[in-house]
Structure 1
């Protein structure tokens, strides 16, 4: 009964008023901002505090300040109002002809190598769907899906997916990239350990490729000589182009970015250089209809490519 009573008091008008009081500092200014009579605003706050069973504001001579309980409610109120705003945006898109909305988060390897073509093919079949795509490191991809701010994630297959549902998206291979005049450029294949006397161009510290390079160096009893760390594959290639060191990037990225810059690639013999990219979702059965169609489309991408 207490929960039901609380839900009745957490209407949008009361939450907006609560935020207004916190931002304006006084009930009078908050009531004016929300176009509510001061007496009505006061009653809403009193009813809300009675429903939660604790004071939300400290009434002081200079205004009203949040109590610790009020700070807790503030965090949830902002999330609730943001969710309502998103509902409004998505419903407005339906009115304009959009028939669905899906949020994706993916690592850089998936975005640069495979998603442009795969998402283009999806949108050619479902032109009235709107997609939102954000790039994050693989660990953050998992957290994004786990915390529900993304419907679908694509991450490296070697990260901890923490109980999420996972299925294969694509295979990719990592290669060394360097200038044609580099001392190792004449090789076709090399173990990563053979590069440890050379300078390297590293990706950002949260990158799964960066983590794997450092782990491989430690397993060889050596330290990785990182001359510079950069945020993305294009920067790795540019730094390699001017002679800053070797880079490790996916093969398809080399074809798209490295080769046009006049660089060469050398295959890595190490098992960790052959990777899986995986799709993660909380539960395929709980996906919205449009997100389920996107999930099925991406899950079949490797089979289509092989075919």
Structure 2
């Protein structure tokens, strides 16, 4: 049985894309070549690796087993390359990472700025996902590490703390609520809401409303923090955002109130299957994220 790394990367790409054509595109490979490689792998093994249907493909039991081992082998190969590159002049490589929106607002840009300036040979493949999606992707080996809110089910991943992401109630500066310093979530639920369409924060708020036997009366739902802040500032309703996002918006037309509920403080962490197994350049960027967390003005240190 002889599969090269290109075979394994192609099979992983096909499984992720749900089609051979999609996998071929991700690998910048002709469809005929990709199809021939997959068929050749199946011929060598003497069993089907994919269930082919009109709407795409899915791994068989044998395919899922191959995918599991392929990801482990590819991760080890990347680790080897990263370690060997460390002996050359300057680090070279690519980091595959994911981050939730809260991490992208404050932590990741500051860490990227200093890290990329010091390591011009390293590229970052960064994608925004919800915390739950990040945990699943990192656990499956589809990303090396991710920045998440620790409210997600962390499976067996290793964690390093980054800080406390404080959730804050926001309202228009012209509203009666703007005269207050703090408010409970139960009181805030009496107001019309502006919020996000989906994601970890949306789910976090929904769960805590349900614990109170309430639901959130959304007037408008949007895709990003800045849009939520602008509509709250316009008097459309109230909202809940990370303090970092409120500080970044920085408008005198927006008033921030401290949420008195214990769950308003969310732990931001960076997660990986194992930090020790990360390539050298990836471990260095994790260190940069931890340092950015300690320096971020809108984050509190754990226990602080």
Q: What do the CA deviations read for 1:170-229 (whole angstroms, capped 9, x no partner)?
A: 22211111112223111111111111111011212332x222222222222322211122
Partner-residue secondary structure (3-state), 1:158: coil
Does 1:234 pair with 2:226? yes
TM-score relative to the length of structure 2: 0.71
Q: Answer yes or no: is 1:143 the counterpart of 2:133.
A: no
What residue number does 1:38 align with?
none
Aligned partner of 1:129 among 122, 128, 131: 122
Say if 2:225 and 2:245, in contact at 8 Å, map to a contact too.
yes
Q: Tell me which of 278, 282, 286 is aligned to 2:269.
A: 278
Structure 2: runs of 5 or more not aligned? 15-19, 22-31, 51-56
Q: Are 2:159 and 1:162 aligned?
A: no
**Contact (CA 8 Å) 2:107, 2:292: kept in 1 or not?**
no
Q: Quote the residue 1:269 is aligned against.
A: 260
CA contact (8 A) 2:149 2:269 kept: yes
Task: Decide whether the 8 Å contact of 1:103 with 1:132 is kept in 2.
Answer: yes
Post-superposition, which runs of at least 4 consecutive aligned residues in structure 1 deviate over 3 A? 10-15, 44-48, 54-57, 300-307
Q: TM-score, normalization: structure 1?
A: 0.70
Higher Cα Rg, which structure: 1
Q: Does the CA contact (< 8 Å) of 1:98 and 1:130 recur in 2?
A: no
Report how many residues are paired.
259
Does the 8 Å CA contact 2:111/2:285 hold for their aligned counterparts? no
Q: 2:240 corresponds to which residue? A: 248
1:281 to 1:179, Cα distance in 2 relative to 1, 3 A: same
- SS of equivalent to 1:224: coil
- Alignment pair present for 1:198 and 2:221: no
CA RMSD of aligned residues (A): 4.0
Aligned 1:58-73 pairs, distance under 5 A: none
1:76-113 C-alpha deviation (Å, 9 max, x unpaired): 6xx99xx8xxx8xx99xx89x87122111000001012
- Alpha-carbon distance in 1 for matches of 2:286, 2:276: 11
